[in-house]
Amino acid sequence: MLHLGNRRLRKRLRPAAGRVRQALAWSVHFYTALGLMAAAGIAVCIVQGTPEAFHRAFVLMLVATVIDATDGTLARLVRVKEVLPGFDGRRLDDLIDFLTYVSLPLLLLWRAGIFPGESGWWLLFPLFASAYGFSQVSAKTEDGYFLGFPSYWNLVAFYLYVLHPSEWVSVGLVLLFSVLTFVPTRYLYPSQRGLLNACTSVFGAAWTGLLLAILFFPGGQELGDGRTRLLTLISLVFPVYYLVASWVISLRLWRKRRRRKEQELGQVLT
């Protein structure tokens, strides 16, 4: 009798548990959608076009990045694909990412005069390159990497705005990363599993703290003053590490595949 009573109780609680799981799954999707609010705020700041507004835009870009970096972990935790199979959170995520990582940061570079006059046309290259990258089926590999430069144009915009190199250095960097979008090189995906990704996440958390110090530095309402420029130069350590680590991994995988092909060819010839 006791066993029968427990089974009836579980049967009664099952619908309630299902509703709780659905509520949690929709909460994760709503959390992802908060990136749209950040994107709207960024757009307003860009239209305003003042140094203070650009400062606020970068704060909102950082907020959007934190949301994007954490929503995937939450989605896997509550198993949103199983609970809400009819709603594709990845499409929502890609839509928001294209706004906050690509189109709005590039628009800010133009609006802030980093690419003055006719040089603004160069910004079309990363725009089209990112459209290509986002449309690739294999943009995220099965072994847990991004394939091609993962369109971190919000970071490119931040560093170009604060450090303000010469016009042609800016153009050169934009073209370089645009080309790298088409090169099938693997880039770290820190939210995935693995020791290197875990270490990168810890390093990235410290780097995020440094960005917060830059954006909320006492009296640092003007991005690009002496103190914020120094902190920004120090913070470049993490992006450089990220790129170098990704390229080293890609080189090792390429050499491994090459040795494997050579071995297979040698077996065929013998």
pLDDT at 238: 96
Asked if residues 173 and 160 have their Cβ atoms less than 8 Å apart, the reply is yes
Provide the domain limits for residue 67: 2-269
- Residue 49: C-alpha distances to residues 19, 25, 75, 118, 133 (Å): 45, 38, 36, 19, 29
Q: What is the pLDDT of residue 141?
A: 84
Question: What residues contact 250, with CB distance under 8 A and at least 6 apart?
Answer: 185, 186
How high is the pLDDT of residue 41? 97
| Alpha-carbon gap, residue 268 to 262, rounded angstroms | 10
Q: How many domains does the chain have?
A: 1
Query: Treating both helix axes as pointing N-terminal to C-terminal, what angle do 153-163 and 226-235 enclose, rounded to 10 degrees?
Result: 140
Please tell me the predicted confidence (pLDDT) of residue 40: 97
Amino acid letter, 20 = V
Residues in the chain where the model's pLDDT stays below 50: 2, 5, 9, 13, 220
Supply angle C-alpha 61, 63, 64, rounded to 5.
Answer: 65
What is the distance between the alpha carbons of residues 174 and 172, in angstroms, rounded to a whole number?
Answer: 5
User: What are the start-end ranges of the E strands in the chain?
Assistant: 145-147, 186-188
Q: Measure CA of the first residue to CA of the last residue in the chain; give whole Å.
A: 73
Helix, strand or coil, per DSSP, at residue 237: helix
- pLDDT 10s digits, 91-123: 899 999 999 999 999 999 999 999 988 889 999
Distance CA(197)–CA(190), nearest Å, equals 4
Identify the pLDDT of residue 2.
46
Per-residue confidence (pLDDT) for residue 227, from 0 to 100: 80
